Amino acid sequence: MARYFTEEHEWIDVVGDLGTVGITDYAQGQLGDITFVDLPEEGASFAKGDSACVVDSVKAASDVYTPVSGTVSAVNGALSDAPELVNEDAEQGGWLFRLTLSDAAELDGLMDEAAYKDFIKGL
Amino acid sequence: MSEANDNIDEDAVEVLTLPLDAWHRDKGGRMVEFAGYWMPVQYEGIIAEHLWTRENAGLFDVSHMGQLLLSGEGLEAAVEAVLPIDLSTLKLGQQRYSLLLDEEGGVLDDLMVQRWPDKLYMVVNGATKWDDIGTLREALPDEVTINHLDEQALLALQGPKASAALERHAPGVSALTFMKLGHFTIAGHPATISRSGYTGEDGFEISIPAEAAAEVAGLLCGEPEVKPIGLGARDSLRLEAGLPLYGHDLGPDTSPIEAGLIFGINKRRRAEGGFPGAERIQRELAEGTARRWVGLALEGRQAAREGAEVYAGGELVGKLTSGGFSPSLNHPIATAYVASEFAAEGTAVEIDVRGKRLPARVVPMPFVPHRYHR
């Protein structure tokens, strides 16, 4: 499994052609208390950079962009009852949705964990 | 990921610091730009801070707001020509809510007026204070002096335990009732304290010299009931309290009658007029308004934000001016201007959020009952 990061603070774990997407721990910290997650429909297709999901905090609504193109194969239903899981465990249990990748080559443009850590240090 | 909607002032050219800047950072406050200043948006988290204030006491730094002291010959008549206030009923030691209106009856600001010996003291919004000073300077005769107290900090201590905590540092303050004020000392520093605030809770607003701000804030937060609270919870608290926010719920394009702020225009002045915009105010009082500011309760957990459109049976009937998740009620709430025929309590509407229609209904405000100490 490989994990990639975007400059928009999403992460994606990739196994074969299946990717699991969430927002980073840094991002959940910036958003504060998350009160609702508007998950995508299973089967919906998105191009890299599309808004696939909206995370509501007390303060604001924020788009989550798909790091790569693909079709939604699953969503994290646990977030319907417990959106605060994104605050508590953003990079594991608070994952948002799974994608079947349509172009794995798009992963090449993303950051690895070390690069992302450097990136947020500069913010 | 990106924030689609927040209240950060993006037009600020130079961000200024307030007397408690270092204090907030030391306390772990996350600082954002607001009304041209660095301000703490949160410390431990908005929901925790919000609920703490409702159950205990929260200390808010509102030093970005403008504090003005007006004095001089002919002060009373001059101020009544600018504000729809009845100063004959504002006694020494009392505070009242008033409105700065333009000639068309639009709201330039909402403000507090206090009666001091031979003087009137005002608290105006931070983002509008420079415009307010200009408007007042132009409208008032030269005999009236406007002193901008920019060397004063302003703290708000809000919540059911505020009185007990403040009494230890300003003996006698607990005897004040809602909208009354007095001059006290805290740790030897002069402090003008009014029993007021903008959270719906019992509480106080405390004007102190800037150089005393960190010491006073430290003393108050040393009390077991008190924690520092950021702007994020201040906004969710005032929304639950059904209190309008200038620049969002109020502005030059809204009239105070549409906003339900009739109480901000004193009875004698409603009848007599003689203030900017009086003609429109009197007409709207007699005939009603085409739209009204209402509270909305949303089903589910997804919040709707400022700017979202309100629909009734497919017809566009209004627009949200505030909206967010209510930590006390555990569901989203919002305020909107809607066509008057859809303003009745219980009216079912839909709010458009990114193409999705969220069901909501008109509910009375405040959303959470006020607990003022009357």
Residues of A in contact with B303 (CB under 8 A): 35-36, 56, 61
The amino acid occupying position B83 is L
Quote the minimal CA–CA distance from A17 to chain B in Å.
23
**Chain A residue with minimum CA distance to B231:** A59
**Chain A residue with minimum CA distance to B234:** A59
Size of interface A-B (CB pairs under 8 A): 71
H-helix segments, B193-275: 213-221, 231-240, 267-272
User: Across residues A81-89, what is the average pLDDT?
Assistant: 97
Residues of A in contact with B351 (CB under 8 A): none
Residues of A in contact with B3 (CB under 8 A): 31, 60-62
Residue B236 in contact with partner chain A when CB distance is under 8 A: yes
Residue written as tokens 């983002």? B127
Q: What is the pLDDT of residue B178?
A: 98
- Distance linking the first and last C-alpha atoms of chain B: 46
Q: What is the pLDDT of residue B12?
A: 47
Q: What is the pLDDT of residue A1?
A: 82
pLDDT digit string, tens, across residues A14-72:
999 999 999 999 999 999 999 999 999 999 999 999 999 999 999 889 999 999 999 99
Q: What is the pLDDT of residue B7?
A: 47
Residue B260 in contact with partner chain A when CB distance is under 8 A: no
- Across the interface, do B303 and A83 touch by the CB < 8 Å criterion? no
Quote the minimal CA–CA distance from B14 to chain A in Å.
19
Residue B301 in contact with partner chain A when CB distance is under 8 A: yes
Quote the minimal CA–CA distance from A1 to chain B in Å.
23
Q: How high is the mean pLDDT in each 10-residue block of chain B (374 residues)?
A: 53 84 98 96 96 98 98 98 98 98 98 98 97 98 98 98 98 98 98 98 98 98 98 98 98 98 96 98 98 97 97 97 97 98 98 96 98 97
Whole-angstrom CA distances from A18 to A91, B15, B222, B281, B326 are 17, 45, 53, 63, 37
Q: Where are the beta strands (DSSP E) in B258-364?
A: 291-298, 309-312, 315-326, 331-339, 348-353, 356-363
Residue A109 in contact with partner chain B when CB distance is under 8 A: no
Quote ipTM for the complex. 0.88
- Across the interface, do B303 and A61 touch by the CB < 8 Å criterion? yes
- Across the interface, do A59 and B45 touch by the CB < 8 Å criterion? no
Residues of B in contact with A58 (CB under 8 A): 46-47, 50, 232, 236, 324-325, 327
- Across the interface, do A36 and B303 touch by the CB < 8 Å criterion? yes
* Helix B46-55 with B231-240: angle, nearest 10 deg: 60
Residue B229 in contact with partner chain A when CB distance is under 8 A: no
Residues of A in contact with B41 (CB under 8 A): 59
Pick from A24, A28, A31, A35 the residue to mutate for testing the B interface (most B CBs within 10 Å): A35
Element (H, E) at B101: strand B95-101
Q: Supply the pTM of this predicted model.
A: 0.94
Contacts of B210 (CB under 8 A, 6+ apart): B19, B63, B151, B152, B153
- Across the interface, do B1 and A65 touch by the CB < 8 Å criterion? yes
Pair of tokens at residue B7: 């209240």
The amino acid occupying position B103 is E
- Across the interface, do A36 and B2 touch by the CB < 8 Å criterion? no
φ/ψ region of A5 (left if φ > 0, alpha if ψ in -120 to 50, else beta) reads: beta
- Across the interface, do B232 and A32 touch by the CB < 8 Å criterion? yes
- Across the interface, do A83 and B301 touch by the CB < 8 Å criterion? yes
3-state secondary structure of A19: strand
- Across the interface, do B41 and A38 touch by the CB < 8 Å criterion? no
User: How many C-alpha atoms does B221 have within 13 Å on its Cβ side?
Assistant: 19
**Chain B residue with minimum CA distance to A58:** B325
Q: For chain B, give me the number of helices (H) and strands (E)?
A: 9, 20
Under a CB-based contact definition with an 8 Å cutoff, are residues B65 and B154 in contact?
yes
Rounded distance, CA B26 to CA B17, Å? 14
Strand partners, B145: B71
Provide DSSP, A54-87. EEEESS-EEEEE-SS-EEEEEE-THHHH-TTHHH
Under a CB-based contact definition with an 8 Å cutoff, are residues B335 and B342 in contact?
no
User: How many C-alpha atoms does A3 have within 13 Å on its Cβ side?
Assistant: 15
Residue B287 in contact with partner chain A when CB distance is under 8 A: no
